[in-house]
Amino acid sequence: MMTTDPALTPDPVDRGIPQRVRIRTTPAARPGIEPGRNGRTAITARPVVFDIRDMSCSYGSNRALDWTTLKIYRNIVTAVIGPSGCGKSTFIRSLNRMNDSIPGFSVGGEILYHGHDVYGSQANRVEVRRRIGMVFQKPNPFPKSIYDNIAWAARNLGMKRDLDARVERALRHAALWDEVKDRLRDSALGLSGGQQQRLCIARAIAVEPDVLLLDEPASALDPIATASIEELMTTLKDRYTIVIVTHNMQQAARVADRTAFFSLDTTGPERVGTLIEYNDTETIFSSPADPRTRDYVTGQFG
């Protein structure tokens, strides 16, 4: 039985939001995606942050993602890769209910976060988003000062004590402090693209999340800014659990400990995003079990 976490309480904001459509699916319909113990699966001995069971996602009557069952482990980087349209963004955005506002969007199956159903009636959507922060493809700083960008969410959530220290800590963790400490009152819009993206990471960090979801965080950046984001991920994973969507396979190979490969299942009448293979990154890239993964990582598809 699930315990009741006082922080995950019903949220008045959620009133009036249609409950998710629960689509019960046949258990273990896609066996063999999670690897067995092979002596090299130490990562799977880590605490589980997300336990995702038979997850499916639809936009109205269009199925975007099907049969997704996987566990995401603490304090590592998990990459989600696959061809365009296979549901990578849909998957990651469903982990913190970012798609709730899209009319007709529905999630089936279960997404358990530390054992709590993210879409359950006990879940507080605001608290879910605080604990599971998100950074998007295009840096989206507010048209405010650097300081206020970081302080804004903390203020809104009532985390007003020691705000200066909170802002400094977030900027330091995002490896931006030294570059901005003398111009905290300047507009964030004057920062470079790479700095803006680290600012967005700092903004997420400032409210003390547990998970950072990064949706193609470097795809709009130049190679130097990309390298600094990748370097940052390797330091941030000591404090946070990171899930990154990337279309850049080299990036996944460089930064991720685990990699999930999604593709489009074309066997039925619809083209639906499906988890094909999930394993340690090294295995996905050097000895994948599924020929579709092999074709993708060797550049023969996608």
Whichever of 64 and 218 has its CB closer to ligand ADP, that residue is 64
Q: Is 88 in the site for ligand ADP (CB under 6 A)?
A: yes
Which H/E stretch holds residue 167?
A: helix 163-173
Site string for ligand ADP, 282-301 (x = CB under 6 A): --------------------
Q: Is 217 in the site for ligand ADP (CB under 6 A)?
A: no
Residue numbers 30-59 binding ligand ADP by CB under 6 A = 59
Chain centroid offset of residue 168 CA: 24
Please identify which residue in 64, 174, 184, 244 interacts with ligand ADP, judged by CB under 6 A: 64
Site string for ligand ADP, 257-276 (x = CB under 6 A): ----------------x---
How far, CA to CA in Å, does 85 sit from each of 81, 180, 215?
A: 11, 37, 14
Q: Can you tell me the distance from the alpha carbon of 217 to that of 213, in angstroms, rounded to the nearest whole number?
A: 9
Judged on CB neighbours under 10 Å (0-12, 13-18, 19+), 300 is: exposed
Helix (H, G, I), strand (E, B) or coil at 268: coil
Please identify which residue in 8, 72, 79, 86 interacts with ligand ADP, judged by CB under 6 A: 86
Binding residues for ligand ADP, how many (CB under 6 A)? Answer: 13
Give the chain's radius of gyration (CA, Å).
Answer: 19
Please identify which residue in 68, 89, 149, 246 interacts with ligand ADP, judged by CB under 6 A: 89
How many Cα atoms sit within 13 Å of 287 on the Cβ side? 2
Q: Which stretch binds ligand ADP (CB under 6 A): 4-12, 87-95, 121-129, 140-148?
A: 87-95
Please give the residue ranges that form the binding site for ligand ADP (CB under 6 A). Answer: 59, 62, 64, 82, 84-90, 102, 273
